[in-house]
């Protein structure tokens, strides 16, 4: 569930409302998830291989077919393991918070700063992490903006903060003062 959220960048509400019928494969073989997002705006996000693998495993755990031709379009992407119903935003929040709290406990001694970040993490944090990692791995700013469905490029550009460190090192290294 967290992997799916991380690699798609979906908002929590979009994630819990999505159904198998929302998935489309285009003429190029790319997988898309159609969502209704903030402000009731329709959009679509890419379903990369990692998301499809997570979905297949989750469907199998729930006893549903993983073959798209056999899907019931009304089946929620995320559901409880003990039934067909989807999960609520409140339940998703609780699951994610519990996961991050557990991870924080494991990391507390070795990396207290990261553990503290994890204790404060929310489901929306995976969306921020999705954007930051996509940009760090070479995705264009406009591509990330479109996948997150931001109205403005300036909203998406806030995820470039971590690039400042890399930029300073690279430019600093390229124009280092000669040794005296």
Which position among 31, 34, 119, 150 bears the catalytic label?
A: 150
Q: How confident is the model at residue 84 (pLDDT cuts 50, 70, 90)?
A: low
| 124 catalytic residue (yes or no) | yes
Return all residues near 10 (Cβ < 8 A) that are at least 6 apart: 4, 18, 33, 35, 45, 127
Domains and CATH numbers, the chain: 2-174 (1.10.443.10)
Give the whole-angstrom CA distance, residue 38 versus residue 91.
Answer: 20
Mean pLDDT computed over 150-165: 69
| 150 catalytic residue (yes or no) | yes
Which position among 11, 17, 130, 149 bears the catalytic label?
A: 11
pLDDT digits (tens, 9 = 90+) for 97-142: 999 999 999 999 999 999 999 999 888 888 888 888 888 888 888 8
| 159 catalytic residue (yes or no) | yes
Which position among 6, 130, 145, 159 bears the catalytic label?
A: 159
Name the phi and psi angles at 146, rounded to 5: -65, -40
Mean pLDDT computed over 147-157: 76
pLDDT cut 70: percent of the chain above it: 91
| 127 catalytic residue (yes or no) | yes
Q: How confident is the model at residue 42 (pLDDT cuts 50, 70, 90)?
A: confident
């Amino acid at each position: 569930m967290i992997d799916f959220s991380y690699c798609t960048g979906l908002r929590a509400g979009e994630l819990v409302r999505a159904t198998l019928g929302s998935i489309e494969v285009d003429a190029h073989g790319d997988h898309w998830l159609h969502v209704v997002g903030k402000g009731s705006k329709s959009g679509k996000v890419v379903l990369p291989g990692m998301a499809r693998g997570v979905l297949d495993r989750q469907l199998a755990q729930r006893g549903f077919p993983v073959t798209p031709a056999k899907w019931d379009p009304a089946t929620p992407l995320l559901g409880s393991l003990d039934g067909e119903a989807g999960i609520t935003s409140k339940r998703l929040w609780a699951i994610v918070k519990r996961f991050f709290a557990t991870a924080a406990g494991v990391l507390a001694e070795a990396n207290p700063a990261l553990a503290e970040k994890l204790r404060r993490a929310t489901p929306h944090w995976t969306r921020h992490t999705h954007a930051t990692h996509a940009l760090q791995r070479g995705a264009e700013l406009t591509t990330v903006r479109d996948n997150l469905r931001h109205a403005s490029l300036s909203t998406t550009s806030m995820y470039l903060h971590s690039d400042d460190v890399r930029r300073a090192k690279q430019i600093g290294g390229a124009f280092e003062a000669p040794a005296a």
